[in-house]
Structure formats: C-alpha cells, structure tokens
Amino acid sequence: MSFRHFLFAFHLLAVSVAAQSLDQTALSGRYGFVHLLTNVSTGGQVQNARNLGGVITFDSTGGYSFQGNLGNGAGSGSPITGTGSYSVEPNGFVRLTNPIVGSLILNCRLGVNAEALLGASTESESGVYDFFAAVKLGDAGGNGLLSGRYTGSALALPGGTAASAKTAFFTMSPNSQGGFINFDADGHAANQGDAPIAENITSASYSVNADGTGSLQIGTGSALLTGSRSIYVSANGHYVLGHSSDPGLRDAFVAVRAGDGFANDTDFAGNFWLADFFINAPENNVESGVGGIRSNGSGTVSIAQRLALTQGGAASEGGVFRRTIDYSGVNSYGVTATGTGFLRGLPAPGLTNFALGAPAAAASLSGEGAGQLAAAPNAFVSAQVFQTAPFYGVHGLTFGIRLPVLESGSGVFLSPIGVLNAASFAPPTAPISGGALLSLFGSGLANSTVEAGSVPLPTQLGGVTVTVDGVPAPLFFVSPGQINIQTPFGVQGPTATIAVSSSGSTSNAVTVPVANSSPAVFSAQQTGYGPGIVTHADFSLVTEQNPAAPGEVVIVFLTGGGPVSPTFADGAAGPVNPLSLMTDPELEVRFAGEVSAISFAGAAPGFVGLYQINVQVPEVIFTGPAVPLAIRTSNAFSDYVDVAVGF
C-alpha cells in the first residue's frame, strides 16, 4: 500500500464487538463503597481531605440512597445518610451524584457483570479531586467469605493533608476465621522521609457480617496501615474495600483476590476501566481521573483518561490552577508468576506496584477467547510505591475493572464501546472532535465492503449513512463490521450521539464524549502505538534505518487536531491555497518531553481529516530508535507513538 493510499483509507482493526447494551437496570441492589475526596489550596497543598464509606443501594430506575460514615480532616468519622441520582449509558458510563459533595457529579464506569463501579469527579471545575469505588454485596457473608490471597493498594492522608501521606501496596492471606496467615506491605510515608518501608503485619484481625460488611483491625504495629477500618466484601469474595473512621485517618483501600493461574504478561489482556488518585506533594501536584486501558497481552497498554489535575507553582508564583485534560498514552507492564508485577514504570528491585485479581468464571467472559476463560482477571490494583528518583514523594492508588462483556447480535448494531479514534484506537473514554477520523465497529453495519472512490467523500455509501448529532458524516468505507468516517467539523460537546443506517434499518444510538481536539498520530504498525507516521521533507518515512536527525524538520501526520482556519467543507480535502491552519493556542509537539519549534500546523493539503505538523527535532535530545513523540493541545495530551532519532 502506498503512503498516500494508507493515509486516505487508513486501516482496518480487528476488535470484538458488542450488541448488548446497558441502562439503569444494570445497576441495582446493595454495594459497599469507599470515597476519598480532597480540596487543593491556591498554593497546591492538599487540604480538607474527607473519606466516606458505607452501603449504597441503587433502585434500578436512577435513584440511590446510602448510609455510612464520613470522616472530615483531623476529626473522627460520624454516621451519615443521603440520597442521589444516577444514569447508566449503554457503554457502561455512569453519572452519579457525588455522595460527599452533592452539587457535583461523579464520572463513573460500570464493570463486567456489574460487580464493581469506579469513578472520579473529573467533570467538575470546583477544585475537588477524588477516588470512588463500589462493589456489589451479597447476603451470604461471614468470615469464610474472605479466603485465598489478596493484593491491594491503600492511600492515607492523616489529618486531612498530604504532610503525612502514606501509600501501601499489600498482600494478605486471610484464614477464613478472622485472622491472617500472612499480611505484608511495601510503601512509604511522607512523615518518615518517604523512604521505602517493608513490613510484616502480625497483629491484624477481621470480621465479616452476613451482609458483606465488616471490620479490619490492624493495630499500632504497622507504619503504613495502622488503625481500624470498616470493610466491604463483594458477594463473590473477589473484592475488598475499606476506609477508616479513626480520628484524622482519611484513607481508602481496595484489594482483589488473586487467581491461581496468573503467571505472565499474556494473562493481562483486553479492555478495562480504571480510576486514579495521585498526590505529588513536593511539586504541589494533585491528579484524579477515570478512563480506559487496553492491554495487548504482550507487555504494552494503551490508556485514555479524563484527568483533573493541578498545574502551576507555589502561591508566590501565582498559585496553582485546575484543568481537565484528555490524556492518552502508552506504557509498559510486566506480570510475574505470582500475578503481581509493575505498571507504568519500573519499581525498585524486589518491589511490585501492580497485581491482577478477581479471577473470572468462564461464563462471565464469553467472547473474550476460549483459551483465556478459566484464568482471565476481571480487575487489577496498583499503587505508587516506586522508590527511585524522581518518584519520591508521589503517593496514590489505581483500581481497574474489566469492561462489560457484550455479545454481537442481530440487525444493524453499533458497539457501545466501538467508536474509536482511527489513528490511536484509544480506549472508549477518549473523546472525539470535529473533523477527526473515526473507526466505528459493530455488526450488520453494511451488506458489503464499499470504499469511496473520490473526494469530496460521500455521506451515503453502499446504502449506508452515519449521523453524528443528526449531521451526515463523510464516509471513507463501509463494511459489515467496520465503518471509517470523518466527524463533521460542526460537532461540539460535551457529548455527541452516533447512529448508523443501513438499507433502511437504523442502529442503536451511541453517545460518546466530545472535546475541542482529540489529537492522535498515525502509527506505522497500524496498532495505534509504536513508530509514528513521521516523514522527512521528501515524504520518505522516518524509520530506525532512516532516522531523523537533531535539528531536522520532519512532518508528523495525525488526526483530531481540532478547529482550523479558514474552514472548509466536511469530506473535502485540505486546501492548498490558502492553507488551513490549526487554531489551538496551546499546540505543542514534544520529543522526549522537549518542546519543539513548529513551522506549519494545519489540515494536510489534499487529504480528508488528516492534519500535518512540520516540526523541528530539538538540537539537544537523546537519540535512539524509539524517542517518545507527544502532541499537546489546550484540552489534550497524546503520547502514543515514538520516532527514530539518530546522528
């Protein structure tokens, strides 16, 4: 395939599709939950941390009630009850009234079989940062519900601030009788210099009631997890959540039961939701977010998150400010014979910061591949327990749950999680934007494969039309399982609804997030990551054998660059005279973190939905076959691809 044809038609991607969809009835009954929330001062300091835990009951029609215990700052927890509302989108997105701050909305995700729910208030501009998790409770508890080996993450903000922040990554083996065969933790504490701490906890005990609620007593012998906690054990015993009501101990922890068969990288494969909560006290940075993660089963994950984070410096320098960023990037992971390992970087020797858990029964993962059914994990946990520079002082935890499994069905069906950026194929949390190229996946989308033969692109092809908020979208090609389109330039957020009509039948509607831009560089391997489509000035591809040189101007090809000026019609090729320029005021291209000089950024002349950035490789840069290449806009940061740079 020629370079020009590749960029015109882009590529097919084989993915599993869905035909079942979710609604309010998917979320019903009793869940145990924990919620850790904090504000941040103008100087960037964590303040007024609160934690809430208890039982939340969903009525399956959009309302909930809860009863629990709320801790505020340095005080003790006190009983609290409340009510709220929720909504469930077909793809598992959930909007939930924030239980601690009722005027805010939690941006949540529902996992496979509705066993777990996670989220954060990433859509709020109030200065709140938080972490929310809930697990479905049963009515056949007791101490025997806790059995096997569990790995978990815990974050504590004693006194309601980060001055004594503690992060722990722990493994516990309950004996089903209220004690533990072993209980070990690794971590660090800000009031102890954030030096590595490894401990064996010998004084812990627990009690689980018939309804799945209970308590955990650790005592004073632990520097990382000391204190008493209320716990909530899921109906199947796979998940344990906890929080403390002790004076000043504002915390949250989540643990997942290990599986016997998790032994290597191939066991972590498929699509998961995740929620993060990180605090970097030395740099006055706080971050919380919710998103999606896709693992290839071979040591690489692609991530897309809506992050709320602080930016700026000390109050004397103007203070920090909150912004919401659509982050997408690629990271590495590794799984050992115990099901633990690393995610997002390498921990110190002998330490882990990541573990798989919640082993899935075969019936719950139909469609995920028969070879992986018996041992596939439904969840993972991770903690910020790196103890090498520059990670001293960073505290936080991550919880991940598998996306709902939705089988393909009859008729014209658009997968609720099948609207993806055509360059990065970022997980479903990633937004779309006007003018961007999208790949739509489903079943029965067209009677045959038909490709557009000319530009401007048609809005009807092979009896198929696609509408985005009611506006017909230009079509590159249609097929029974995949359609490639250009998003109409006029689409604006916060969400858009997409539907497919084929031979007189209309699909289900899928609602997706919308942002001003959704940048993603095309990849040479057609996976969304790895070497990017970057060329020399003569349009020859930059490769390891033909690398870019420091100081050279190269051409980066991407989609999702956002508004352009002058504007031009949907489906039309980028104009030559005058050139149409990207208008984002914060556009940056970074090579290994170094901001580079841009000489042109706009619609690629002669191509539909394609953007082109001519940028100089920094003169001072480390060289190699895979130098990270990132695109930053006013609302997004995309870090999926790399580029070869040599002398």
- Euclidean distance between CA atoms 171 and 370, whole angstroms: 30
Average pLDDT score over residue span 372-377: 61
> Does residue 554 belong to any structural domain of this protein?
yes
Per-residue model confidence (pLDDT) at position 387: 56
Handedness of CA 419, 423, 428, 429 (dihedral sign): negative
Domain co-membership, 588 together with 622? yes
Q: Are residues 558 and 638 in the same domain?
A: yes
User: What's the average model confidence in pLDDT over 100-111?
Assistant: 95
pLDDT of residue 348: 67
566 class by beta-carbon count within 10 Å (0-12 exposed, 13-18 middle, 19+ buried): exposed
Which residues span the domain enclosing 499?
A: 3-20+408-513
Total structural domains in the chain? 2
Adjacent-strand bridge partners of 579: none
Q: Give the Cα separation of 87 and 640 in Å (integer).
A: 32
Q: How far apart are CA 274 and CA 389, in angstroms?
A: 25
pLDDT tens digits for 13-27? Answer: 444 443 467 899 999
Which tens digits make up the pLDDT trace of 365-374? Answer: 333 333 333 4
User: What does the pLDDT read at residue 231?
Assistant: 98
Do 483 and 535 sit in the same domain of this protein?
A: no
Please check whether residue 442 lies inside any domain of the structure.
yes
Give the pLDDT confidence of 508-566 residue by residue, as tens digits: 999 999 999 999 999 998 889 999 999 999 999 999 999 999 999 999 999 999 999 99
- What are phi and psi for residue 636, nearest 5 degrees? -145, 155
Give Cα 247 to chain centroid, integer Å. Answer: 33
594 in the same domain as 538: yes
* Measured distance between the N- and C-terminal CA atoms of the chain, rounded to whole angstroms: 29
495 lies in the same domain as 529 = no
Question: Is 427 inside any structural domain?
Answer: yes
Q: Is the pLDDT of residue 201 over 80?
A: yes
pLDDT at position 408 is 58
The dihedrals phi and psi of 571, each to the nearest 5 degrees, come to 80, -5
3-state DSSP assignment of residue 22: coil
497 and 527: one domain?
Answer: no
CA-wise closest residue to 137 among 254, 234, 256: 234
Same domain, 559 and 602: yes
375 part of a folded domain: no
Cβ neighbourhood burial of 228 (10 Å; 0-12, 13-18, 19+): middle
Prior bond of 247 cis (ω within 30°): no
Which SS3 state, helix, strand or coil, does residue 461 take?
strand
Residue at 259 is within a domain: no
Q: pLDDT tens digit string along 106-147?
A: 999 999 999 999 999 987 767 789 999 999 999 988 999 999
pLDDT value at residue 484? 98
Mark whether 478 and 461 lie in a shared domain.
Answer: yes
Q: Is the dihedral of CA 138, 143, 149, 154 positive or negative?
A: positive
Q: Residue type for 199, please?
A: E
When mean pLDDT is compared across 35-49, 73-87, 434-448, 584-598, the lowest value belongs to 35-49
pLDDT at 249 over 80: yes
The SS3 call for residue 192 is: helix
The average pLDDT across 316-336 equals 79
Q: Which H or E run contains 8?
A: helix 3-9
Q: State pTM to two decimals.
A: 0.93
Give a yes or no: residue 617 inside a domain: yes
CATH code at position 496: 2.60.40.10
| 524 lies in the same domain as 593 | yes
Q: Which of 488, 513, 538 is the last residue of a domain?
A: 513
Q: Domain end: 513, 543, 562, which one?
A: 513
User: Three-state SS for 134?
Assistant: strand
pLDDT of residue 391: 56
Q: How far is CA 55 from the centre of its chain?
A: 26
Same-domain check for residues 459 and 538: no
Q: Report d(CA 345, CA 28) in Å as an integer.
A: 37
Q: Which of 377, 98, 269, 66 is nearest to 108 (CA)?
A: 98
Q: How far apart are CA 517 and CA 634, in angstroms?
A: 8
Q: What percentage of residues in the chain have a pLDDT greater than 70?
A: 90
Question: Which is it for strands 581-582 and 588-591: parallel, antiparallel or unpaired?
Answer: unpaired
Residues 566 and 589 in one domain: yes
Domain boundary among 513, 541, 563: 513
Q: What CA–CA distances, in Å, run from 144 to 176, 180, 217, 218, 633?
A: 4, 12, 17, 19, 52
Residue type, 468: V
pLDDT in tens, 426-478: 998 899 999 999 999 999 999 999 999 999 999 999 999 999 999 999 999 99
What pLDDT shows up at residue 392?
66
Residue 135 lies in a domain: no
pLDDT at 385: 86
Q: Which residue, among 119, 124, 110, 160, has the nearest Cα to 35 in the 3D structure? A: 119
- Residue 141: inside a domain, yes or no? no
With contact defined as beta carbons under 8 Å apart, do 268 and 377 qualify? yes
* pLDDT tens per residue across span 394-436: 899 999 999 987 655 679 999 999 999 999 999 988 999 999 9
Same-domain check for residues 590 and 633: yes
Mean pLDDT (the chain, rounded)? 89
